[in-house]
Amino acid sequence: MNLRSVHQMEISLKKGDIAFRIHGSSQSLLGAERLVLNVMQRMSAIATLTHKYVKALEGLPTKVLDTRKTTPLIRFLEKEAVRIGGGVNHRMGLYDMIMLKDNHIDFAGGIAEAIQLTRKYLSKEKLDLKIEIETRDLIEVKEVLKVGNIQRIMLDNFSYSDLTTAVKLIEGKYETEASGGINLDTVRHYAECGVDYVSVGALTHSVHNMDLSLKAI
């Protein structure tokens, strides 16, 4: 079985269940035990937490996104765990999608300038990358709509009311992503505002490892 097919299976385990049985020499098993368990504990926790968010959105079209707030050197594994849990991977790095955040916009001199400079850069470098832009209020959403030339609008730390209004203003012209302080208690409320995605950094940056152990039988 490969990782790409695991997410198609839903297997529920409870405390005390045996997840795997492995065979080999005692030297080999004990030599690999700690590394394997450390990875399994973290990735299992990420996949499980992601699954809880996905289940909380059951019946809604909104997808759960991860972020780049991952552990150094093991981003691929953590993002794979999110995917196995039923979530959707955001960009892996700075190379597969352009994200214009508040600092970029401020340094560029405004929303219009940031988008224009980005488009100019992509054209010059002959790159075909999607652009997502962060907005902090409804005024900025309206500015983005005037300029266009992007693919997704991030609605950062919006209230439910403003989020609903923003989605109506955008009218499906661009993908929408709610972000900022979203947790299991609030994720469905954000999704019900009509956004395409909710991004949850806590899936990878705040998860607590599961307690797994290897026992000889």
Residues noted as catalytic: 34, 69, 101, 134, 156
- Give CA torsion, residues 181, 210, 86, 199, to 10 deg: 20
**CA–CA separation, 171 and 94 (whole Å):** 28
**CA–CA separation, 201 and 46 (whole Å):** 11
**CA–CA separation, 186 and 191 (whole Å):** 9
Alpha helices in 57-137 (DSSP H): 75-84, 102-108, 111-124
